[in-house]
Structure 1
Amino acid sequence: MNREQISKLAHTHHPIKSPLNDASVTRLLALALPRGDERVLDLGCGSAEWLLRALTTHPDLRAEGVDIAKSDLAEARQKAIRLGVEPRLDLHCCKAEDFTSPHPFDLILCVGSTHALGGLLPTLEAARAHLAPGGRVLIGDGFWERTPTPEAVDVLGDFADLPTTIEHITAAGWTPVQGHTSTRQELDDYEWSNWGTLADWALDHPTHPDSPQVLTWATTRRTEWLRTYRNTWGFATLVLRRTAD
């Protein structure tokens, strides 16, 4: 079982692939979609859960998603058909940096997928090229709540603290107009769901050839979370607008 398959399995019960509960997702989409008839782009959409929720809530909205995972896009398409929103959703299998469009977008999403474009600031630069005048970006990324250990940096990568992250964003020409910092409950629920779902699957399929690998992965990642970054790492989701063009 490859990493993509493991990730899909881990998110079975938490389809939003970031530490946000349903209420937070609903609130952020409402803040980012003030009209309800926007054209929306998700860079690194995965199974397009954010887009599907926006489309089902706003019948005049149109959306496009970009991802390199064919299986995720196929899942998104099937969900869209079941929900009756498939005519308003276009999905593109390509790298986010290679995506082009003949029209701009009123909202650009990238929550938990900034790695696909090289990090937070490169993602914002890529979003700028697709953004309509007066448009918004809904972006989610990690930050350090307190000074991390070298082990935590090795596991999760190099982040800044939240004030420094906001300073970097504003220096790049963006203004936060709304935001959400994931609560301890959201962070914990996300981790317990991911690694618990994997462990459940492995224990339910003891004769499957991938079962030992999946259980080992779940145990290793749960231990990293509890011992290495649980009390250090946070996640912020921000609604941004261009300060000046």
Structure 2
Amino acid sequence: MSRPRIAILARFAENTSATRYAAIVTARRLAEGVWAAGGEPLSMLAVSGSDWADRLRGIDGVLMPGGADINPKTYGQEISSEHVYDVDDLADEADISLVKYALDNGIPVLAICRGLQITNAALGGTLVQHMDAPHQHHVAPVTIEKYVDELGLNSATVEASCYHHQMIDQVAPGLEVIGRSAEGHVEAVKIDAPAWAFGVQWHPEDNYDTNAPQLELFKRFVSEAATYAAKN
């Protein structure tokens, strides 16, 4: 049986040692986490005006990855913190159009960190531009309040590896908060969509190979992608 094909919108990098110049990148750990879960990770270029119906032919799931900060204009604000970094309007446009298309058309979606934030912004929510106590290099328990089984988890508490200085402020219509940090920050959501669609603020790829629940999350996503592939 072939591996479900998982689209990951690549991020822009000013330079990398391998390319010498500007590059598009997908975090290696993220791609390896998808592969370990049985999926085929495929990086896609962010371009303006994508015809996602065409570009996503043969794609079975969409993973919205982490990355740099979103332009606050996407959620009706101006930049109000000096800590907002690497804003790229093209990346925001591509992310928003992709996640909206995938959700509207019943393609399974897993949104991670920035991916969760862009989904919230795309659906009408807002973000805290800079947290008083950022969760960077931060590993701590997250309590999942609902949909534990649907996430493929065997426990309502997960050790979440976080790297973010922004977080959801106003929750968008269509997002249901299902997990929080000890401080009460939004850490996981169920997204209202025809297919399986969830978002997490942490990075399950960081410790998928040493913390079983993180790999189980990827496995559930890939399993849903396989089900989608079988129907299409």
Same fold, TM exceeding 0.5? no
Structure with bigger gyration radius: 1
Range of TM-score over shorter length: 0.3 to 0.5
Going by fraction, where is strand more abundant, 1 or 2?
2
TM-score by length of 1: 0.32
TM-score by length of 2: 0.33
Going by fraction, where is helix more abundant, 1 or 2?
1
